[in-house]
Amino acid sequence: MSEITIIGAGYAGILSAIAFWRQGHKVTLVGPELKSLGRTFSLLYGTTLALKSLLDDPDLNIGLKVDTLKLKHQHRWGDLSIHAKDYDMPFLLGSISENSLLAQINLFIHQKTNIEWIYQTSKAINIQNHSVDIENKTLSYDHLIACDGAHSKTRMTANFIAHHIDPATQTSLQVAEIHHAGSIARQIFAENQVFAHVPLSETSIAFYATTYDPQPHPWHAENPLQNYIQQTGFQAISLSPLVQFQSPNHLYPALNSQVLLMGEAAISQGPVGAQGINGIITDLGILLAHPSIESAASSLDAIRNKRYRINQLTRHAALMHIGILVQGFIPPINDFVMHNMLWGGQKTALHEGLQLWDR
């Protein structure tokens, strides 16, 4: 059993805390309690099975299930359709409300575990002495897990050097309330940008626009999603305010000086390549499949690099054309590439709900 301290109590932090505790480790979680923003998350089918196993809850409340995903290049090719039945899955994406997910996570942590949760931010981290200073307390650790976001102070303290970084990426998001969401998720690729919409519930859809243009995007002058929402044919009853944020793509090595990076501390990018909770679950599945964090580091680096490369392909229309063409017309490659993507990059025992827990 190791002493594991986790800095940051976002989704990467709380899910990692549960996974390592269930593996038999002593876990301390440091960070303010996560508050729901009222969102709805889209989870890959394997992610839903993993959460049911992780939270010991076979009745996890999965809402709308999407069984078809369509990819399209705006100018050159038609749709590439991906159907759940072709991969022996009941659905590709399932929705869950953030309120419901957080309630189930918090219930599990507080009623079924002895995870020590310190609702404060760390004051100082001493990498050489393996210690973390909290107000009026010092924590020692065998492993420190940084889950404190894309601008991680823990990562900077441990002197991680990025493999890749692209500060130009910017994303905008709107949620539309509509009469009927349907069961199809769609992504449309164009030069240096990707538009996407994913049904979240029976009456709402999330619309994304991510750009990779090094020049400032004129979001202050226009809403890039308005025309896209209209072009999809949905008649929106209402639209949420347009959320716009810079989201620099970056990729760091998984491990340095007994510090492990998880979530956006390790890899941050736009809504392509099974990021967010789906990526966290895949990374946890890889960690749990190895006897130690150290032995899992190279496998984590490989899978994160794969997800990062998939995202970066959307920056280059010519490469995206080749990708769609190859995936659409050479079945063995299609099966290999798409099957891995539908499991967040790699299928693990956690994804199948077959993970064996010590607790």
> Does residue 149 sit in the same domain as residue 12?
yes
> Does residue 88 sit in the same domain as residue 131?
yes
Q: Is pLDDT of 334 > 70?
A: no
Question: Model confidence over 172-228: pLDDT tens digits?
Answer: 889 999 998 888 998 887 777 788 899 988 899 999 888 877 666 665 667 888 888
Query: How many domains is the chain built from?
Result: 2
Decide if 358 is inside a domain: no
State which of 230, 246, 262 marks the end of a domain.
246
Max avg pLDDT among 16-25, 71-80, 248-257, 325-334: 16-25
pLDDT, mean over the chain: 85
Decide if 352 is inside a domain: no
> Does residue 85 sit in the same domain as residue 146?
yes
Cα angle for residues 323, 274, 263 (degrees, 5° grid): 135
The pLDDT assigned to 75 comes to 65
Note the residue count of the chain. Answer: 359
Q: Looking at 61-65, 122-126, 209-213, 215-219, which range is the least confident one?
A: 215-219
CB 27 within 8 A of CB 116: yes
Decide if 354 is inside a domain: no
> Does residue 41 sit in the same domain as residue 124?
yes
Q: What pTM was estimated for this model as a whole? A: 0.89
Q: How far is CA 129 from CA 10, 122, 134, in A?
A: 26, 15, 15
> Does residue 133 sit in the same domain as residue 57?
yes
Decide if 357 is inside a domain: no
> Does residue 327 sit in the same domain as residue 187?
no
Q: Is pLDDT of 331 > 60?
A: no
Residue 340 CB coordination number (10 Å)? 18
Decide if 349 is inside a domain: no
Q: Is pLDDT of 323 > 60?
A: no
The CATH number of whichever domain residue 207 belongs to comes to: 3.30.70
**CA atoms within 13 A of residue 342's CA, in its CB half-sphere:** 25
Domain extent for 199: 170-246
In the DSSP assignment, the letter for residue 139 is E
> Does residue 215 sit in the same domain as residue 98?
no
> Does residue 269 sit in the same domain as residue 315?
yes
Q: Is pLDDT of 328 > 50?
A: no
Decide if 267 is inside a domain: yes
CB 349 within 8 A of CB 285: yes
> Does residue 142 sit in the same domain as residue 186?
no
Decide if 348 is inside a domain: no
State which of 198, 221, 246 marks the end of a domain.
246
The pLDDT assigned to 330 comes to 42
> Does residue 147 sit in the same domain as residue 41?
yes
The CATH number of whichever domain residue 110 belongs to comes to: 3.50.50.60
> Does residue 54 sit in the same domain as residue 120?
yes
Structure tokens at 320: 């995206």
SS3 state of residue 254: coil
Q: Looking at 71-75, 83-87, 148-152, 237-241, which range is the least confident one?
A: 71-75
> Does residue 27 sit in the same domain as residue 126?
yes
Question: Model confidence over 27-38: pLDDT tens digits?
Answer: 999 999 999 888
Decide if 351 is inside a domain: no
CB 306 within 8 A of CB 272: no
Percent of the chain with pLDDT strictly greater than 70:
86
Chain centroid, CA 25 distance in Å: 24
State which of 246, 271, 290 marks the end of a domain.
246
